[in-house]
Amino acid sequence: MRIHGGGPFGAVVVMNGQAVGRGCNQVTPTLDPTAHAEITAIRDACRALQRFDLRGCILYTSCEPCPMCLSAIYWARLDRVYFASTRKDAAGIGFDDDFIYQQIPLDLAARSLPMQQFPTPAAADLFSEWTAKPDKIPY
């Protein structure tokens, strides 16, 4: 943040008392809206541990995770999260993650972003193929 590297957010993934992944907000320097501190820390930890499952790990982060980061935390199967500032604190300095939290429980038609399902046989076939795949790696 102090050297124009992104917003005021940082995170670390810890396993057995050792940092195994570090991250800071890199949205603006990488031009990647998904490069939040928690996401970059999870990516770093997964590379370091050579696995996509972070069971046995704890995430420490400077702010309550946004919905995207919270989803990644669940997908990574982290054991616990500790955070300093709240999403309301973040909204107070212009990071309105709380808006997304409010959108999630709404019906699709009520969300501010128009969304519509477009079912196709090909999409259904892909799911059937995955279900029948004997050598799939579940996650």
Show which residues are catalytic.
38
Rounded to whole angstroms, the Cα distance separating 78 from 7 reads: 23
Strand order in the sheet with 57-63: 18-24, 10-15, 57-63, 80-85
What are the start-end ranges of the H helices in the chain? 27-30, 37-49, 67-76, 87-92, 97-103, 121-132
Q: What are the structure tokens assigned to 38, written together?
A: 């928690």
Phi-psi group of 137: left, alpha or beta (phi > 0 → left; psi -120 to 50 → alpha; rest → beta): beta
Q: What are the structure tokens assigned to 53, written together?
A: 């499952």
- DSSP classification of residue 66: P
